Amino acid sequence: MEKNSLNGITFYSGEQIPVELHKVRVVQKLFLNPIDERLAAIYRAGFNTFQLNTLDVFLDMLTDSGTNAMSDNQISSMLKADDAYAGSQSFYRMEAAINEVFGKKYVLPAHQGRAAENIISQAFIKKGDVIPMNYHFTTTKAHMELNGGTIFEIYTEEAIKIKSNVPFKGNIDIKKLEDLIAKYGAEKIPFIRMEASTNLIGGQPFSIANMREVRKIADKHGIIMVLDASLIGENAYFVKKREAEFKNSEIKDILLTMCDLADVVYFSSRKVSSTRGGGICTNREDLFMKMRDLVILYEGFLTYGGMSVREIEAMAVGLMETTDETVISQSPSFIEFAVNELDKKGIPVVTPSGALGCHVDAIGFLPHVPQKEYPAGALAAALFIISGCRGMERGTISSVRLENGEDLLADVELLRLAFPRRVFTLSQTKFLIDRLIWLYQNRELVGGLKFVEEPAVLRFFLGRLAPTSNWPEKLVAKFKQDFGESL
Ligand code: F0G
């Protein structure tokens, strides 16, 4: 019989639903507040979902960062943490886990992913350098530019198409890479960066075949490769599912194959190992030495790097669990379910489904809202008002303002609805889908946003916006008409 579920369990009925290979043992109470309270909350938050208080949120789909559910083994490991400034046993356990999972000998701890980016950028980038990559992440770009570098995103044409059946939209375009090296010269390129499960274009993976080609070119020109491994578990899962050569491989071997192709691997442990913290690792002593003293300066001593020893213990266990297919497939299989259900209803979502979250295309959803009125931000606010579900804008608000005062319009306007690992149930997922369907049917009621307070750096975190008309009130009126005074 065919395997019918999304994670390999066979359903006799033929139904296609993901099954949890874990049970719930600790829970947190949630509240779904009345719609008038949600409307007041989004005004208080300046129409920025980062500014919401979680007491006002029902399903928190802002991010998977630091919000994945921990395992019993992770939590119990925290009890045996060895409190020490220097030489902590907890650090050595984490170092051993990194040696095993990423295959790298030298380990530098950092308090989170962007701290690792700061160290790498300061160690390797000089003014006037150019850094090629499959796609930027917000904090990556900010650190690289702060150090005088310019980033170049050399993704393939398919990468930013919303609807696609290309399995590896996170690949680097090899021809563009060669052209870039020819144009600027290898000496201007401190490293090539590849990001696993490319976050900002919809959690899209790269293939190992592509990484091998990039490596060949890097070797030809003597350029090093840096891998952002924050979402590497999911990328490995997609390699296994979508790249024929690896269909019978074990996840641990796929992880090692990817890391082996990079000289430096860094990660946000808030994502990859379902805890807090981050780190950098390499097998090259010369590269390690370039970064080592910066870690002491910015993060702390080399055996804690800004993290508590409890977090370090949980990170060691979480990293080992990243080699377990039932752990890393959980979020992608729920995302696949949501994407398929929304796609069936004609709601524009990024396909194929990827890692981290379900990504709704705000330009397709709200074609009447011009990009400079931030359709993805407006969609995030509208969804929160009508459902209490908090997503994240990943579009022009997350971009920057240029020197001429205009917004740098984003390549894609996405509303990201994150599925942190093992956090939400299928009925909660169905609630989200149901409200999105209602919103799509009433989409003409949603209008744009404008900035009223705009920070100069990473403006999406703290910026405050306002609706361009009274569209939120009209949306609430229609909701009440359809749902009564219900939630
Ligand atoms: N790289 C990638 C690919 C990320 O997704 C993130 C964080 C970072 C680096 C920075 O790591 O947050 O530990 O400092 N992504 C989070 C998100 C914030 O919501 O997608 P950090």
Would you state the structure tokens that stand for residue 162, as one six-digit string? 């919303």
CA–CA gap between residue 46 and residue 472 (Å, rounded): 13
Nearest to 154 by CA among 169, 140, 133: 133
List the residue whose alpha carbon is closest to atom 8 of ligand 1.
113
Q: CB under 8 Å to 5, separation ≥6 — which residues? A: 11, 15, 16, 17, 18, 19
Model-level pTM?
0.95
Residue 250 is predicted with a pLDDT of 97
Residue 5 has pLDDT above 70, yes or no: no
Of 394, 416, 422, 459, the active-site residue reads: 394
Q: CB under 8 Å to 189, separation ≥6 — which residues? A: 129, 130, 131, 132, 180, 181, 221, 223
Of 31, 85, 461, 483, the active-site residue reads: 85
User: What is the length of the chain?
Assistant: 487
Q: Which amino acid is at 264?
A: V
What does the pLDDT look like over 169-182, one tens digit per residue? 999 999 999 999 99
Alpha helix positions (H), 2-80: 35-44, 72-77
Is 155 a catalytic site residue?
Answer: no
Residue 6 has pLDDT above 60, yes or no: no
Q: Which amino acid is at 301?
A: F
- State the maximum Cα–Cα separation within the chain, in Å, rounded to a whole number: 66
C-beta atoms surrounding 25 within 10 Å: 8
What DSSP designation does 186 have?
Answer: G
Contact yes or no for 429/338 (Cβ under 8 A): yes
CA–CA gap between residue 141 and residue 144 (Å, rounded): 5
What does the pLDDT look like over 368-406, one tens digit per residue? 999 999 999 999 999 999 999 999 999 999 999 999 999
Residue 2 has pLDDT above 50, yes or no: no
CA–CA gap between residue 222 and residue 176 (Å, rounded): 18
Q: What is the arithmetic mean of pLDDT over 184-192? A: 98
Would you state the structure tokens that stand for residue 39, as one six-digit string? 């409307």
CA–CA gap between residue 429 and residue 20 (Å, rounded): 13
What does the pLDDT look like over 213-242, one tens digit per residue? 999 999 999 999 999 999 999 999 999 999
What does the pLDDT look like over 264-287, one tens digit per residue? 999 999 999 999 999 999 999 999
Using DSSP, state whether 161 is helix, strand or coil: coil
Q: What is the arithmetic mean of pLDDT over 89-108? A: 98
Residue 275 is predicted with a pLDDT of 92
Q: Is the peptide bond before 352 cis (omega within 30 degrees of 0)?
A: yes
Rounded distance from Cα 470 to ligand 1 centre (Å)? 34
What does the pLDDT look like over 136-169, one tens digit per residue? 999 999 999 999 999 999 999 999 999 999 999 9
Using DSSP, state whether 264 is helix, strand or coil: strand
**Rounded mean pLDDT of the chain?**
96
What does the pLDDT look like over 397-433, one tens digit per residue? 999 999 999 999 999 999 999 999 999 999 999 999 9
Buried b (16+ CB within 10 A) or exposed e, 329-363: bbbbbbbbbbbbbbeeeebbbbbbbbbbbbbbbbb
**Could you tell me how many helices (H) and strands (E) the chain has, helices first?**
19, 12
Strand partners, 349: 360
Ligand 1 atom with the smallest distance to the CA of 198 is 3
C-beta atoms surrounding 219 within 10 Å: 11
Is 140 a catalytic site residue?
Answer: no
What DSSP designation does 103 have?
Answer: -
Would you state the structure tokens that stand for residue 33, as one six-digit string? 């507040």
Of 155, 374, 460, 479, the active-site residue reads: 460
Nearest to 291 by CA among 136, 433, 106: 106
Q: Which amino acid is at 259?
A: C
Is 394 a catalytic site residue?
Answer: yes
Residue 11 is predicted with a pLDDT of 84
Residue 356 has pLDDT above 60, yes or no: yes
pLDDT band at 1 (very low <50, low <70, confident <90, very high): very low
Residue 270 is predicted with a pLDDT of 96
C-beta atoms surrounding 296 within 10 Å: 12
How far is Cα of residue 477 from the mean position of the Cα atoms in its chain? 34
Strand partners, 296: none
CA–CA gap between residue 434 and residue 429 (Å, rounded): 9
Q: CB under 8 Å to 8, separation ≥6 — which residues? A: none
Domains of the chain: 3-64+327-483 (3.90.1150.10), 73-323 (3.40.640.10)
Q: pLDDT exceeding 70 applies to what percent of the chain?
A: 98
Residue 7 is predicted with a pLDDT of 63
Residues with CB under 6 A from ligand 1: 63, 65, 112-114, 137, 139-140, 195, 199, 228, 230-231, 268, 270, 278
